[in-house]
Structure 1
Amino acid sequence: MEMGKEYIVLRGCGAISPLGFNEVTTAQSYTSGQPAFKTILHQNQPTPVAALSVDAENTLQQLIKANPAYKNLDRSVHLAIYAARQAAEEAGWLRSDHVLHDDLGVNIGSSRGAAGLFEQHFEAFQQNDLSAAASPTTTLGNLSSWVAHAVNAGGAQISHSITCSTALMALANGMAWLKAGMATRFLAGGTEAPLTDFTIAQMKAIGIYSKRDSHTFPCQPYAVAKQNTFVLGEGAAVFALELVAETELKKGDVILEAIGLGFEQIGSKTGISKEGLNFQKSMRHALSQLSEKDPGIELIITHTPGTYAGDSAELAALAAVFGAEAPAITTNKWLTGHTLGASGGLSVEFALHILRHQKFPAPSYPTSIQATAPASINRVLVNAAGFGGNAASIVLRQW
């Protein structure tokens, strides 16, 4: 007997970012189009960053206080736990019986991992005062294991890093595990807490960090001016995935329809060509998985971190893949900054917001692109790319 078609459905979404800490607060930020940047003094220089709001920070601290063990964990783990619990609750998976669910897998990734704790413990090491907690609290495995504890997941626990494509790769892993029958439910996403002295200094050393600290929009993807306006932000986004038969889908369900991966040989320290070959490969890979009867994409959420070389390469890739028939494009980084390993996840959250509300805010500074929303948006392609030459593209479709 022939099996019916099955789809990966996003049963829940959890996120915390400079824009909000739940669906309501984040939607309000997108509706207002107000950026979430503030200026700090970093090494005596005014530096723009995108940090959690006061309300979001207070909500996160409530979570940390609820479990004494959390206080010794890195901020990246705190953000992941918060987002994962939110996603699991929306999916109806969060229970208080503390019974492990062996069918529930977890894959949480990060570009930098426990950056804050690494810096703290290294400073203690220099003063001959290194704590025994240094190793267990800075291992990348904390991201998945502590999330598993928080949601009673007894299945696969995967932590990984593929730089800024990390969150989309977690979704790819979740899809693979579900389709292989190695799990029946999966939590996948990315988290990043990079607003630390050393991490900010690293981005400045590359020469990409925005110097527009006094501007309302210090991060300006697609800007008309030839400039670098990269700004670091923090946050996490996690998604509850489930394999569902086509006959069980309901109107409004959002499915993870395709995932494409791309790679190009590194030609520079940031690993991207002028043609955006990695993006070309990842987008074509994703598009090849769509039905020939209905291959249309209404909107693309680009990676575009506000760097001149990166933005230009991705726009070149879009032109190469879509030509004159290119869909509308947008991004959320002019509001959130670049959250590294969490950025792809927050772009997916943005996509869900757009599918739900059928609109998105346009940048309020001179850009080289048109950001007008199509009359109807049912399918969104999300891009991400990272140092090393990798790229990932996913397609979300509203049923």
Structure 2
Amino acid sequence: MEAAKSHIIIRGTGLITPLGHDAASVAAAYAAGTPVFSTVSHHGQVVPVAALPASAEAELEKLLQSDHNYRQLDRSVLLAIYAARQAAAEAGWLKEGTAPADDLGVNIGSSRGATGLFEQHFSGYQQSNEGALSSSSSPTTTLGNLSSWVAHAVNAGGAQISHSITCSTALMAVANGVAWLKAGMAKRFLAGGTEAPLTPFTLSQMKAVGIYSKLAEQPYPCQPYAVEKQNTFVLGEGAAVFALEQVMSQEVKAGDVVVEAIGVGFEKIASKTSISAEGINFQKSMRHALAQLPEHNRHIDLIITHTPGTRAGDRAELAAIEAVFGATAPAITTNKWLLGHTLGASGALSLQYALHILKHQQYPSIPFHTLLPSQSTSQFRRVMVNAAGFGGNAASVILSRK
């Protein structure tokens, strides 16, 4: 007798991004197809960034006012709390004034963590003759406070995991949540990524790598897949969190989104950005994910790529897609030309983009000349999302809508 089959479904989604503060506002931004970049002055140079809009800032301020303890937290933590509460509420898991739910786990990741607050405390340390620091400097800048504060905010009493795997962080959090659910170590899981990197030091770090966009005055400062041989990386901020639950096949309803497969890949570091021209890490993660699909049905309708607008990275991922799919490559797109690269949160924002496309069955065309072949797909039922980061790692998640 065949064993009963279970699925991991997304019960709820929460997000706060340069495009908006909920699914409706973000959907409107995607429909408009207008980039949301602004500029800041950084050491005498005008640079493009993707910051939260005024409407999202207002929502974040409401969150700050709701609990006096939130005033001491880094912006990255606040973004995570906001997104997690939204996801938990949509899933029906947000129970105010109740005991912590021991069956609800949390895994929130970030590439840089509390970098804004860390920079602030370190600056104070340098300026103090005695090296004096606030008593909150350590507990509020440790990476672990990401998931612990989210757990407090949603009454989660299960696993509380914070981690950094550079720009693959959010997809790895989802992978971890799926693994815990399948292992029976949790019944529900909140997983995602957050990043608040628009700080002087982080901007300097990205500029030092030599990848930051010099197109601040142009309408499209971030140009993934661009034909022009230039780097157009632009930093953005934001967070997205997903409420995951394992259900039996008969419980899956029409319209539910299922996490069908998760693949990981790795290649040995050969450069400071850790990616080969062939995109070996991407090849491995995509093949790993595809191998988990039914052998007779491994068709992918769309790939949302990592492609942050760097010359080497973008071309490597496209080379990997060609190597894996050949002439049957799916349609390809990205959202980074609209909201930049949010580092550890980028995979989560790409996953939310996939949910948007699966629901609305459309996405905005990239308005500048690209390396992408002309492609048309009438229906999107299954979407693959890629992410990769410094260190040689990559991850691929496949979502499908029932």
- Counterpart CA distance in 2 for 1:114 and 1:36 is 24
Q: Which runs of 5+ in 2 are unaligned?
A: none
Q: CA deviation at 1:372?
A: 4.8
- Counterpart CA distance in 1 for 2:295 and 2:270 is 35
1:165 and 2:132 aligned? no
- The residue aligned with 2:44 is 44
| Cα-to-partner distance string for 1:322-356 (whole Å, 9 max, x where unaligned) | 00110000000000100000000000000000000
- Counterpart CA distance in 2 for 1:47 and 1:371 is 32
Instruction: Give the alignment of 1:170-181 within 5 angstroms.
Output: 170-181=173-184
Q: CA deviation at 1:97?
A: 2.4
Q: Which stretch shifts more, 58-67 or 158-167?
A: 58-67
- Counterpart CA distance in 1 for 2:64 and 2:341 is 25
Q: CA deviation at 1:363?
A: 1.2
- Contact 1:230–1:338 (8 Å) recurs in 2: yes
Instruction: Give the alignment of 1:203-242 within 5 angstroms.
Output: 203-242=206-245
Q: CA deviation at 1:8?
A: 0.3
- Contact 1:359–1:373 (8 Å) recurs in 2: no
- Counterpart CA distance in 1 for 2:97 and 2:235 is 39
Other structure's SS at 2:244 match? strand
TM-score by length of 2: 0.98
- Counterpart CA distance in 2 for 1:195 and 1:365 is 26
- Counterpart CA distance in 1 for 2:213 and 2:374 is 23
* Structure 2 residue corresponding to 1:244, chosen from 237, 244, 247: 247
Q: Which runs of 5+ in 1 are unaligned?
A: none
Other structure's SS at 2:4 match? coil
Moved over 6 A (4+): none
How many residue pairs match? The answer is: 399
* Structure 1 residue corresponding to 2:282, chosen from 279, 282, 285: 279
- Counterpart CA distance in 1 for 2:138 and 2:220 is 39
Percent identity of paired positions between Structure 1 and Structure 2: 67
- Counterpart CA distance in 2 for 1:85 and 1:371 is 40
**RMSD (Å), alpha carbons:** 0.9
1:149 and 2:162 aligned? no
- Counterpart CA distance in 1 for 2:373 and 2:266 is 28
- The residue aligned with 1:86 is 86
Q: CA deviation at 1:370?
A: 4.1
| Cα-to-partner distance string for 1:373-394 (whole Å, 9 max, x where unaligned) | 5101000000000000000001
Other structure's SS at 1:201 match? helix
The residue type equivalent to 2:83 in the other structure is: A
The residue type equivalent to 2:147 in the other structure is: S
- Counterpart CA distance in 1 for 2:218 and 2:52 is 19
* Structure 1 residue corresponding to 2:368, chosen from 365, 368, 372: 365
Other structure's SS at 1:181 match? coil
- Counterpart CA distance in 1 for 2:397 and 2:246 is 17
- Counterpart CA distance in 2 for 1:56 and 1:354 is 22
Q: Which stretch shifts more, 126-135 or 99-108?
A: 126-135
- The residue aligned with 1:110 is 110
The residue type equivalent to 2:242 in the other structure is: F
- Counterpart CA distance in 2 for 1:44 and 1:143 is 33
Other structure's SS at 2:138 match? helix
Q: CA deviation at 1:127?
A: 1.5
- The residue aligned with 2:72 is 72
- Contact 1:271–1:388 (8 Å) recurs in 2: yes
Q: CA deviation at 1:223?
A: 0.4
1:303 and 2:303 aligned? no
- Counterpart CA distance in 1 for 2:391 and 2:228 is 27
